[in-house]
C-alpha cells in the first residue's frame, strides 16, 4: 500500500485534520476553561498566526509518524518514509517548530537589547518544558516495564539507570529499558528537545549580540558555522527564525504587504515549490523556502483566517502535549491493531480510520494534559499575565 499522492495521503490527512478541528471546536464550546483561555489569547497582543501554526505543525508531525509506523510493520525499519509529502510533514513540522522557538526568544532579546534575567529565563523554561516531558517520559518507562510484564530482566539499579536516561531528556542516551528491544519506538520525538535545550543554553550568550549591528553579525557567523560543522543542517532553522525576528524588528514595514491575500497565495506557492523541489527539509534550499514561508506567517498572515480560527488556536494551545503524546498513542494503537490484523496489510481507508481514531485520542489526551499538567506551571491564565508593552509582543513560550 503506497501511502503517497493526493488520494492516499494528502486528501485523507486533510479530512482527519478537519475532523480534529471539529473536535477542537467542540472542546472550546463545551469547556469553560478552554473557552476562557482561547478568548484571552486572542485578546493579548502576540504572534497570533504563530500560535495557530503550532497546532497544525504538531498534527503534521503526527501524520508523519503514522505513515512511518505503517512502513515499520511492513519492513521492520523505523526510517524516513518513501513518500516525499509524508517526509516533509514531519521534517518540515519540526523545522518550523525550531523557527518558532528562535523567533520568540530572539524577538525578546532584540526588544530588550539583550537584557536577560537568567534566573527567570531558566525557571520559565523548566516550568514550560519539564512537567509534560516528565509525564510523557514516565509513560514511556511504565509502558516498557508493562511490556516486559513487570519482571526485572536487568538489575534494579540498571533499570533505574536506563529509566533515568529517558527522564533526563535522553542526554545520557536512549537505552532499552529492562531489555525491551527498541524501547525508543514507544516515543520517538524526544531528540528534538535536545536541540531546544541546546538553544536555551546558548541563548544567554546570543543575547549579548542583540544590538542593531551585532545581531546581523551573529546571524551570518551562525549560518557559516552551521554550514561547516552541522551533520544535517537542522540548526539552520534556528537561524531562520532569528532572521525573521530581526527583519520584523528592524524593518516592520516589510510585514504589512504580506498579511493579506497576496501573502497567503505566496505561502501556497512556496509550499508547492517545496514539494516539487526537495525531498528533505534538511538541506539549504529547503531551509530557504521554509524560512520564507515562516517569515510571511510571522508577519501576521493568517492564511485566510485559518491560523486565528478558534479550533486551530485550541490545537496550538495544546500543541506541546500533542507533540509529546502522539507517538505514544500511535505506538499503542498500531501495536493493538497488529494483534488482530497485520498493519502492513491494512487498506488505505482502514489505515486512515485507525490513524484518525488515534488522532482523536491524542487531541482528547492533550486537552487533559495541558489543563492538568502544563497549565498549573504556566503562571496562570493568559488574561492574568502582564500586559504587552511597546517593547515587544507578550508571548507564552
C-alpha cell at position 153: 530482566
| Region 230-244 average pLDDT | 93
pLDDT at 19: 98
Angle, CA 104 vertex, CA 18 and CA 173 arms, to 5°: 85
Instruction: Give backbone dihedrals phi and psi of 177, rounded to 5 degrees, phi first.
Output: -95, 125
Query: Nearest Cα to 64, choosing from 95, 35, 42?
Result: 95
pLDDT tens, 125-151?
Answer: 999 999 999 999 999 999 999 999 999
Query: Considering only CA atoms, which of 115, 138, 114, 59 is closest in space to residue 311?
Result: 59
The answer to whether the beta carbons of residues 177 and 141 sit under 8 Å apart is yes
23-38 confidence digits (pLDDT tens): 999 999 999 999 999 9
Q: Check pLDDT > 90 for residue 121.
A: yes
Region of residue 169 (phi > 0: left; psi between -120 and 50: alpha; otherwise: beta) = left
The residue among 380, 295, 324, 304 whose CA lies nearest residue 47 is 295
- Residue pair 251/58 in contact (Cβ under 8 Å)? The answer is no
pLDDT of residue 393: 32
- pLDDT reading at 182 higher than 80: yes
86-100, 141-155, 322-336, 370-384: segment of lowest average pLDDT:
370-384
- Cell 471539529, residue located: 22
Beta bridge partner(s), residue 389: 392
Q: To the nearest whole percent, how much of the chain has pLDDT over 70?
A: 94
Q: Give the Cα separation of 209 and 384 in Å (integer).
A: 32
Dist. CA 81–CA 280, nearest whole Å: 11
Per-residue pLDDT tens digits for 56-79: 999 999 999 999 999 999 999 999
Buried residues in 199-236 as b, exposed as e (16+ CB within 10 A): bbeebeebbebbeeeebeebbeebbeebeeeeeebbbb
Mean pLDDT of the chain: 93
* Cβ atoms within 10 Å, residue 196: 16
Query: Which is higher by pLDDT, 131 or 212?
Result: 131
What is the distance between the alpha carbons of residues 247 and 254, in angstroms, rounded to a whole number? 8
Mind listing the pLDDT tens digit for each residue in 346-394? 999 999 999 999 999 999 999 999 999 999 999 866 545 443 333 333 3
Least confident of 22-31, 274-283, 318-327, 385-394: 385-394
- Going 390 to 391 to 392 to 397, the CA torsion angle's sign is negative
Which cell numbers hold the place of 91? 521534517
Q: Which tops the pLDDT comparison, 42 or 266?
A: 266
Model pLDDT, residue 2: 64
Q: Among residues 344, 343, 248, which one has the least CA distance to residue 300?
A: 248
Tell me what pLDDT residue 4 has.
67
pLDDT-derived band at 211, boundaries 50, 70, 90: confident
Cβ(388)–Cβ(49) under 8 Å?
no
Write the pLDDT tens digit of every residue in 218-235.
Answer: 999 998 888 888 888 899
Q: What is the pLDDT of residue 73?
A: 96
* Residue entry with cell 525491551: 180
Residues counted in the chain: 397
Q: Please say whether the beta carbons of 324 and 193 come within 8 A.
A: no
User: What integer is the mean pLDDT of 280-290?
Assistant: 95
Q: Can you tell me the distance from the alpha carbon of 80 to that of 68, in angstroms, rounded to the nearest whole number?
A: 7
- pTM, two decimals, is 0.93
Amino acid at each position: 500500500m503506497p501511502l503517497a499522492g493526493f488520494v492516499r495521503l494528502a486528501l485523507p490527512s486533510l479530512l482527519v485534520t478537519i475532523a480534529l478541528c471539529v473536535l477542537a471546536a467542540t472542546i472550546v464550546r463545551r469547556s469553560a476553561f478552554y473557552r476562557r483561555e482561547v478568548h484571552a489569547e486572542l485578546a493579548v497582543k502576540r504572534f497570533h498566526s504563530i500560535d495557530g501554526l503550532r497546532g497544525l505543525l504538531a498534527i503534521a508531525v503526527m501524520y508523519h509518524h503514522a505513515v512511518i509506523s505503517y512502513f515499520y510493520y511492513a519492513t521492520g525499519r523505523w526510517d524516513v518514509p518513501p513518500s516525499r509529502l509524508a517526509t516533509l510533514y514531519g521534517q518540515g513540522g519540526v523545522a518550523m517548530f525550531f523557527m518558532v522557538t528562535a523567533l520568540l526568544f530572539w524577538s525578546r532579546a532584540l526588544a530588550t537589547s539583550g537584557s536577560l534575567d537568567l534566573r527567570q529565563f531558566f525557571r520559565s523554561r523548566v516550568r514550560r518544558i519539564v512537567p509534560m516531558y516528565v509525564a510523557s517520559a514516565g509513560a514511556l518507562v511504565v509502558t516498557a516495564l508493562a511490556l516486559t510484564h513487570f519482571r526485572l530482566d536487568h538489575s534494579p539499579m540498571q533499570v533505574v539507570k536506563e529509566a533515568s536516561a529517558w527522564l533526563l531528556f535522553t542526554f545520557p542516551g536512549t537505552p532499552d529499558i529492562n531489555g525491551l528491544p527498541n524501547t525508543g519506538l514507544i516515543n520517538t520525538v524526544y531528540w528534538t528537545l535536545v536541540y531546544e535545550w541546546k538553544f536555551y543554553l546558548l541563548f544567554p550568550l546570543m543575547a549579548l549580540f542583540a544590538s542593531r549591528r551585532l545581531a546581523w553579525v551573529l546571524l551570518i557567523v551562525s549560518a557559516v558555522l552551521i554550514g561547516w560543522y552541522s551533520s544535517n543542517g537542522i540548526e539552520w532553522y534556528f537561524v531562520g527564525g532569528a532572521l525573521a525576528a530581526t527583519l520584523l524588528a528592524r524593518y516592520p514595514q516589510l510585514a504589512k504587504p504580506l498579511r493579506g491575500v497576496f501573502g497567503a497565495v505566496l505561502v501556497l506557492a512556496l509550499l508547492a515549490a517545496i514539494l516539487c523541489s526537495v525531498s528533505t527539509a534538511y538541506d539549504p534550499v529547503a531551509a530557504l523556502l521554509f524560512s520564507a514561508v515562516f517569515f510571511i506567517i510571522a508577519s501576521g498572515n493568517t492564511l485566510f483566517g485559518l491560523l486565528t480560527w478558534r479550533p486551530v488556536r485550541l490545537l496550538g494551545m495544546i500543541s506541546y502535549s500533542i507533540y509529546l503524546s502522539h507517538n505514544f498513542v500511535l505506538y499503542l494503537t498500531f501495536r493493538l491493531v497488529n494483534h488482530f490484523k497485520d498493519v502492513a496489510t491494512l487498506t488505505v481507508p482502514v489505515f486512515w480510520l485507525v490513524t484518525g481514531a488515534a488522532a482523536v485520542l491524542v487531541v482528547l489526551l492533550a486537552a487533559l494534559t495541558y489543563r492538568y499538567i502544563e497549565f498549573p506551571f504556566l503562571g496562570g491564565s493568559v488574561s492574568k499575565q502582564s500586559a504587552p508593552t511597546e517593547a515587544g509582543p507578550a508571548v507564552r513560550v
